[in-house]
Amino acid sequence: MSTPDNPMPRGGLTRPPNLDVNLDVSGMVDPDGGLVDRRIFSDTQVYQQEMRRIFARSWLFIAHEDQFKKPGDFFQTYMGEDPVIAVLNKKREIRVLLNNCRHRGARVCRADMGSTKNFTCTYHGWSFDLDGNLANVPAQEAYGENFNPADWGLVSAPRVESYKGLIFANWDENAEPLEDTLGDMRWYIDAFMDRDPEGTCVVGGVTKWVLEGNWKLAAEQFATDWYHVNMSHASALMVMSPTGKGPKKEIAMRTGRQYSDEYGNGAGFPVHPRNRFDAQPVHEYYDYDFLRQRLSPEQVMGPLTNGHATVFPNFSYLPVNGSIRVWHPKGPNKMEVWSWTVLDKSMPEDVRHAQRLYNLRTFGPSGIFEQDDGENWSECQANAHAFMVGNTALNYQMGLGDLREEPGFPGQTSSLYSDAAGRAVYRRWRKLMATPAWHELRNADEDSKNPNSDCNGGCTHD
Ligand code: FES
Ligand SMILES: [Fe+2]
């Protein structure tokens, strides 16, 4: 029945089976041939199916543990398009609650972040405690004796797990553990999040901005695309080069690796024995010999600094400037970017300051690199809905077949200049889009037991 730990409680309600029609979209991506149908970025039905079959069952990034210091500290964010509140309860556990009153559906929390004793809905005053239990109902006697507040708590994500300070939640209580879905990607994340024995912290709040583009354009680029760097960011590279003339040729084509896996995670990075951080105070702060011992020589040569990464579906990061970000989907044509700066806890104040400014200057909303990427995504999105454009396949064939297992770099790798991780993103996307999710299976099961249902147990809501 309706309890906070039972996502999507529906009581005796049923729905007509074709209200949510799931399409077989398997033919819209071809990870083996490296082709993508443009309509996956613009079609509303495909987008709605992504909400049901990808976002409702994947591990989604919520917040950094450092954002919660004492019970009652909360942060409001989204899982897909669903508003959620992450809050530290009295047992110092993070709860992730659907920010949606069980009475008429208003949000029970409207602040971006803060600290509270409870969440009181401003419509009729239902009030919920830090675990989402319904704690107070004005004029409760009007509901009669059979009203049980325990049935009307906020829906809460049944699974909340962290890796190296990064909190993720999942609506599927039977989901594979977070660490299993990160797999070998953990080694690449560690090069960013495990440099300091004290761990990491966040500084400067969360920066948010809206882009005209499908969420996958950003997610796949951060998984797979070093290729765009020299062309898209030519002016930024020119500004940053010591001569002011831009990168030399040998810097332009860099040697590196790209990681990809069956879960759709991806990371790419140049590899160089004298790898270093871009911001000078940060470079001077780090003891690279210590990092080689704490991590490994390969992590210091590779994913420690420059590079890009995506944890499927919509969490990405950039180690060199400590940027972590979520691409919140806002319809097929729009995304909202939420970005944090992550730093090592041991960093002194002046180094923190330098890294935060470096992040804002390069990848803040007006950053010299971020501007280029947003422009590209809105450009790709602008005409995706047009007929001829929408019927013309896109090319993801760079490095087709170039996959290797390599000593020192866990998992499956390819060249830095490759679409391998992009193809892996769409392989995972295709698999999830074709597989009924936990809620579909449960709804079918409930309908089969419900005497009022017309489904007679035969419908699958497909
Ligand atoms: S909608 Fe929240 S109390 Fe009525
Ligand atoms: Fe870029």
* Ligand 1 atom nearest to CA at 126: 3
SS3 (DSSP) at 208 = strand
pLDDT at residue 269, as a whole number:
97
pLDDT at residue 454, as a whole number:
46
Say which CATH class 179-434 falls into: alpha beta
For the chain, the residue count is 462
Across the beta sheet with 119-120, the strand order is 119-120, 127-128, 134-136
Q: Is the CB of 147 under 6 A from ligand 1?
A: no
154 Cα to the center of ligand 1, angstroms: 12
Distance CA 389, CA 171 (A): 36
Which residues of the chain register pLDDT less than 50?
1-3, 250, 453-462
Query: Whose Cα sits closest to atom 3 in ligand 1?
Result: 124
pLDDT at residue 459, as a whole number:
37
Q: Is the CB of 125 under 6 A from ligand 1?
A: yes
E-strand ranges in 82-164 read 82-88, 94-98, 113-115, 119-120, 127-128, 134-136, 159-163
Specify which residues 79 forms β-bridges with.
Answer: 82
Specify which residues 200 forms β-bridges with.
Answer: 344
* Ligand 1 atom nearest to CA at 125: 3
6 Cα to the center of ligand 1, angstroms: 20
* Ligand 1 atom nearest to CA at 108: 2
Cis status, amide bond into 313, omega within 30 of 0: yes
Q: Is the CB of 123 under 6 A from ligand 1?
A: yes
Query: Whose Cα sits closest to atom 1 in ligand 1?
Result: 104
64 Cα to the center of ligand 2, angstroms: 24
C-alpha distances (whole Å) from 99 to each of 76, 111, 117, 160 are 8, 11, 15, 16
Joined together, the tokens standing for residue 186 give: 């953990």
pLDDT at residue 455, as a whole number:
41
pLDDT at residue 462, as a whole number:
35
Ligand 1 pocket: which of 99, 121, 143 to mutate (most atoms <8 Å of CB)?
A: 121
Distance between alpha carbon 247 and the CA centroid of its chain, in Å?
32
Helices in 280-406 by DSSP H: which ranges? Answer: 280-285, 288-294, 297-301, 349-363, 370-382, 387-390
Spans of all domains in the chain: 63-174, 179-434
What is the CATH number that goes with domain 63-174?
A: 2.102.10.10
- Is the distance from CB of 462 to CB of 55 less than 8 angstroms? no
Distance CA 192, CA 428 (A): 24
Q: Is the CB of 228 under 6 A from ligand 1?
A: no
pLDDT tens sequence across 49-107? 999 999 999 999 999 999 999 999 999 999 999 999 999 999 999 999 999 999 999 99
Torsion of CA 369, 373, 375, 377, to 10 degrees: -170
Q: Which of 167, 139, 173, 145 is nearest to 4 (CA)?
A: 173
